[in-house]
Amino acid sequence: MAKAQICLCFIIFLYLWSEGNFIKVIKADRSGDWCVAKPSTAKEKLQENINFACSKIDCKIISEGGACYSPDNLISRASVAMNLYYQSQGRHFWNCNFEGSGLIGITDPSDGSCIYQFRK
C-alpha cells in the first residue's frame, strides 16, 4: 500500500511539473533565468552543443568579431549558444538539458559587451 501511495504522489508531481505549474511558482519570484554549460562538461560535448544550437538559431554573436567571441574559450561560447537556444525555445527546462550538460541559473552571466539574451 505504501509503495502505491509513493508512486501516485510521484505521478502527480510529474503531471504538475509537465503542465508548468511547478515551474511557474518558482519563476514568479525571479527576474530571469539563463542556460549555461556545466563547467565539468567535456570539450567534445561543448562543441556538440554549439553545433546543435547553432543549427537551430543564429550564432553570429559567438563568431570571430562577435560580441561574445571573447573570451575565446569553448565553455563561454557553448554557454552563449545554449542560452540563445534555450531562450528561443520558450525557456523550458528541457531546452537547457543538452544531455545533462546544461544548467539553468538565475544570475545573469553577461560579461562586458557579451550580453546574454533574456526573454520574459
Residue spans of the domains in the chain: they are 1-29, 31-120
* Per-residue model confidence (pLDDT) at position 70: 82
Compute the distance between CA of residue 44 and CA of residue 56 in angstroms, rounded to an integer: 19
Express each pLDDT in 74-96 by its tens digit: 999 999 999 999 999 999 999 99
Per CATH, the number for 31-120 is 1.20.58.1040
Is the distance from CB of 68 to CB of 61 less than 8 angstroms? yes
* Per-residue model confidence (pLDDT) at position 60: 96
Compute the distance between CA of residue 114 and CA of residue 71 in angstroms, rounded to an integer: 10
* Per-residue model confidence (pLDDT) at position 71: 75
Express each pLDDT in 22-41 by its tens digit: 444 344 344 689 999 999 99
Please name the amino acid found at residue 5: Q
pTM here is 0.73
Instruction: Give the cell for residue 66.
Output: 562577435
- List of E strands, 1-120: 34-37, 102-105
Phi, psi for residue 38 in degrees, rounded to 5: -65, 135
